[in-house]
Amino acid sequence: MKYRQYLAERFPLPQFILLAGLLAAGSGVCIQTRAYGEVRSFGAIGLAFLGLLFFLFRLRLFDEIKDYAHDLRFHPGRPLQRGLLTVRDIVWMIAVSLVVEICVAVYAGAAPLIYFSISLAYSLLMFKEFFAGGWLRERFTLYVFSHELLVIPLFLYVSALQGLTPGLYKASFVWEVALFSGCQLFFLEISRKMRSPEQENGARDTYTSQYGILGASLLLSLAGAAALALGFVACGARNPLYMAALAPFAHFSYRVMGFARHPEARTAKAVFGASVAYFVLLSGVVIWAALT
């Protein structure tokens, strides 16, 4: 029961299954149609989903340990801080997740295993905060940039799971898909950490606390626009059906502007909801455009 409660609070399975599923489907369909002209293996997309889901789960577990002192001060109601779970429980779940991740990579072959190993090594450096945690945390922009770089080896790994060779990094379309997926994760991450002034708690771990309401809103808008542009390129830039993505982007932009004009808890929540809807619909359009 305690593990079920932990998942409900810190890693809601319906949300993360949707996230990993759409990232795997979008990346897999784009990579396979660009490389082979068709989707050759839905099993490869399934492997990407499984690998991504457990990779994201392990990152969450790493954060529980890495941020323990910070969360104890600013988020004492979280599961680990209030005693629902112990650090030993978290370590046990990390071990289970790693076993699944390694099994997926080994089963998929040499190229996926190589890129998984690179992704794993970088995630371990992130866990240790590059052995400069105090210095890095004082430089929020550099901290974010260093952590967002993980999307490069991670989505090269996803590409390798689609049957490409170890030299896949030489293909421009692989980078296009990786950057598109990375931008999607980035605008979701920004929107998750957008707060109105009365919601801030002194932790200064949100984009609004670091860049201000207007700065964070502009960054979120740019990340959303970059995802829109990269999605067009990632799916092959050949299908006018992609124009359907403009509608969810317009709604997303409207909500961001609404928050910038009236920074309240209500509008901050609306921004996150619009970001999730934009992610889901943009992913759907990209898959649709790549397949037709």
Q: 115: domain CATH number?
A: 1.10.357.140
Residue 236 sits in the same domain as residue 158: no
Q: In the listed set 137, 167, 197, which residue is the last one of a domain according to the structure?
A: 167
Residue 279 domain boundaries: 171-292
Distance separating alpha carbons of residues 24 and 16, to the nearest angstrom? 12
Q: Which two tokens stand for residue 257?
A: 């502007």
pTM across the whole model: 0.95
Residue 159's nearest CA partner among 188, 179, 184 is 179
CA gap 174, 31 in Å, rounded: 7
In this prediction, residue 239 carries a pLDDT of 81
**pLDDT tens sequence for the chain (292 residues):** 999 999 999 999 999 999 999 999 999 999 999 999 999 999 999 999 999 999 999 999 999 999 999 999 999 999 999 999 999 999 999 999 999 999 999 999 999 999 999 999 999 999 999 999 889 989 999 999 999 999 999 999 999 999 988 889 899 999 999 999 999 999 999 999 999 999 998 888 999 999 999 999 999 999 999 999 999 999 988 788 899 999 999 999 999 999 999 999 999 999 999 999 999 999 999 999 999 8
CB 213 within 8 A of CB 193: no
Assess whether 182 and 136 both reside in one domain: no
Question: What's the CA gap between 178 and 164, in Å, rounded?
Answer: 14
pLDDT value, residue 113: 97
- Here the tokens at position 195 are 């707060």
- pLDDT recorded at residue 165: 86
Helices (H), 67-137: 68-74, 79-82, 87-108, 110-127, 133-137
For residues 271 and 260, the answer to whether their CB atoms sit within 8 Å is no
**Last residue of some domain: 167, 190, 209?**
167
Tell me: do 178 and 64 sit in the same domain: no
pLDDT for the residue numbered 242: 93
The predicted pLDDT at position 206 comes to: 96
51 and 33 part of one domain = yes
pLDDT score recorded for residue 203? 86
The answer to whether residues 258 and 212 touch, using CB atoms and an 8 Å cutoff, is no
Q: Do 156 and 174 touch, CB atoms closer than 8 A?
A: yes
pLDDT for 237 equals 81
